[in-house]
Amino acid sequence: MKNQKLIIGICVAVAIVAIAAAGIFAFSSNDDPKTDNSDTTSEQNPNAKVTIIEAMQKIKPSSTQEEITELVGFEPTTDAMIGSDPIWKFDSKNWISYKAYNDSVTIQAAIDKENLKDENITLPTATELQSMLNNGSFTYKELVEKIGGEGTLTSISDGSVIYTWVDKHDQKLGATFNKETGKCTVASYR
């Protein structure tokens, strides 16, 4: 009798777990894109005159918010998740932010790494990169030659620029170059 109650109890517990799992699976696997409210797809801002990469190539450290707005074709917004700085959202994964610090401005782009991926580049190992930095550093041109491809400009300020590369394995390298010396000051993988 005790074994029968134990077996019934186990069966009831298994049935409850199975029903709960089926409910969770059914709720989370909505295949109808018309009713999917998630933000997994990125819709390009319909007012954009340029791509985010083209915009970053044309923006200067002295660019004003008004000049950036004219260039990209739409007004900036703010996003509490990103901060209180003005941002120009091209879509949910790509935006440009404008950060003012005292008398200095930094303009940064958050660009989806899928847009930066280059199958033809070969990033140096972290050890090679550290060795290059320790041995007098390197210029952007020298790094491009080593990697085998141009980087994408992702940050601009009066004193430096940051370029980013993404290889076929989704490894992302960011390198900061001092505008005065032309040398890399910081390089890191993300």
Q: 75-93: per-residue pLDDT in tens?
A: 999 877 767 889 999 999 9
Note whether 109 and 56 are within 8 A (CB): yes
Dihedral Cα 120, 129, 163, 111, nearest 10 deg:
70
> What is the reported pTM?
0.74
How confident is the model at residue 69, as a pLDDT? Answer: 96
Average pLDDT, the chain: 81
Instruction: Calculate mean pLDDT across residues 31-36.
Output: 35
- What integer pLDDT is reported at residue 82 of this predicted model? 66
- Say whether 99 sits in a helix, a strand or coil: strand
Long-range contacts of 19-25 (CB under 8 A, 24+ apart): none
E strand or H helix at 51 = none
Q: What is the pLDDT of residues 116-169, one digit of tens each?
A: 999 999 999 999 999 999 999 999 999 999 999 999 999 999 999 999 999 999
Strand partners, 58: none
b or e along 88-116 (b: 16 or more beta carbons within 10 Å of the residue's beta carbon)? Answer: bbbeebbbbbbbeeeeebbbbbebebeeb
Band of residue 17 on the pLDDT scale cut at 50, 70, 90: very low
